[in-house]
Amino acid sequence: MEKICIVHYGEIGIKGKNRDFFERKLVENIRRFAKAKRRYGWIEVEYRDGIEERLKKVPGIRYFGIGYKTELEIEAIKDATLRTLPEKFETFKISASRRNKKFPLNSIEVNRVIGSFVIEKTGKKVDLENPDVTVWIEIGNEALVYSQRLEGIGGLPVGTAGKVVSLVSGGIDSPVASFLAMKRGCEVVLVHFFNKTLHSENVRRKIHMIAERLAEYQGSIKLYMVPFEEVQLEIIRIVPPKLRMVVYRRSMMRMANAIAEKEEAKAIVTGDNISQVASQTLENLNVIYSASKLAVLPPLLGFDKEEIIAIAKKIGTYEISILPYEDCCSLMVAKHPETKAKLEIVKEFEEFEDLEKNAVEKAEVFEFHS
């Protein structure tokens, strides 16, 4: 009897014609770290120690079970059931589902037969409403029997929605935004703007740590570190303090678009949120986003800060984001930044096309693997 993981994917089950494509992608993503094959409406993954932690981080998995695979034979299913039951419980429930109609018993009959068997062997009681333990039995080419079900992160498999460039700062928000884009099936390429004359190696390390953490969800991730000091100096030289923030964010947008073109990415993701900081008034977001040719997607726009922090803690980026090393832009924020920037006025100060081109060319590219 083989110990295995049974992976269930929610939403991809309802994608009609695309279903095959979504399933293949999910299997491909799991195969980066384990042996996996597609079965009757689930994916079977070879068990090994610690695999739970990996499966919990794969977008597209709704939940997964850890249990046993047996031949399609009621005596073998009984054995597997006894083996999967925990040591301590008072009440239980059997929940069978038969996809392979060649098996002679239907799911209700399997529930009855296995239920009676468990009562006979253990003396415990059935409770259909609120059992201490549920034994799931899935009947396909073989039977899969498990009593331990773990939540996945849900969403869609990475790679099913195409590529995006995600602007990642050292803050709490943008790593969460990058994660949410992955969770909806995007392959994320990270871009960070970095001022090496202002910052120690600590900022660089912090961004690398964030990238490493995000790679755990995506399998691997690319990071562009774009040298921002020359553009930044020029902005400080020619742009009045009130407008600098909007101008530097527009400059980042243009450079992110240039990287997206190289990467064949189809959208830009940011950690923006409505009205959290001064640059995030609707007026300013309009001016900033109009510097982008590609659609700009801010996955956090509807979240409160507490909700964002809760996700950051869950995905493990929070502890990294609160390390006390700020990204280059925190230094550019005026005391009273413009909250209603006007595009015509902002445009008058923008003459750093060459500096931007140069910065993108000099970007360092890293790749992290989980």
Contacting residues toward Mg ion, per CB under 5 A = 169, 171
Exposure string for 112-140, b = 16+ CB within 10 A, e = fewer = eebbebbeeeeebeeeeeebebebbbbbb
Pick from 152, 155, 171, 227 the residue near ligand ATP by CB under 6 A. Answer: 171
224 binds ligand ATP (CB under 6 A): no
* Token output for 292: 């982008």
Stretch that binds ligand ATP, among 2-10, 65-73, 266-274, 361-369 (CB under 6 A): 266-274
| Residue 218 binds ligand ATP, judged by CB under 6 A | no
What's the min distance (Å) between Cβ of 358 and ligand ATP? 17
Which residue from 84, 169, 218, 292 is in contact with ligand ATP, where contact means CB under 6 A? Answer: 169
Q: Residue 240 burial (CB < 10 Å; 0-12/13-18/19+)?
A: exposed
From residue 295 to residue 334, the character string flagging contacts with ligand ATP as x (rule: CB under 6 A) and all else as - is --------------------------------xxx-----
| 169 vs 218 by CB, closer to ligand ATP | 169
Question: Does residue 45 interact with ligand ATP by CB under 6 A?
Answer: no
Provide the residue type at 79 as one letter. D
> Phi/psi of residue 325, each to 5°?
-115, 115
Q: Which is nearer to Mg ion, 330 or 358 (CB)?
A: 330
User: How far is Cα 218 from Cα 159, in angstroms, rounded to an integer?
Assistant: 9
Q: Does 167 bind ligand ATP (CB under 6 A)?
A: yes
Min separation Cβ 60 and ligand ATP, Å: 24
Gap between the Cα atoms of 64 and 329, Å rounded: 42
Q: Among residues 91, 95, 148, 276, which is the contact residue for ligand ATP, using CB under 6 A?
A: 276
Among 271, 303, 318, 356, binds ligand ATP (CB under 6 A): 271
Backbone angles phi, psi at 72, to 5 degrees: -80, 80
Contact 299, 270 (CB under 8 A): no
Angle between helices 241-263 and 229-238 (to 10 degrees): 150
Choose among 61, 368, 364, 56: nearest CA to 213.
Answer: 368
**Residue 272 lies near ligand ATP (rule: CB under 6 A):** yes
- Is residue 289 close enough to count as binding ligand ATP by CB under 6 A? no
Q: Which residues bind ligand ATP (CB under 6 A)?
A: 167-169, 171-174, 191-193, 252, 270-272, 276-277, 279, 327-329
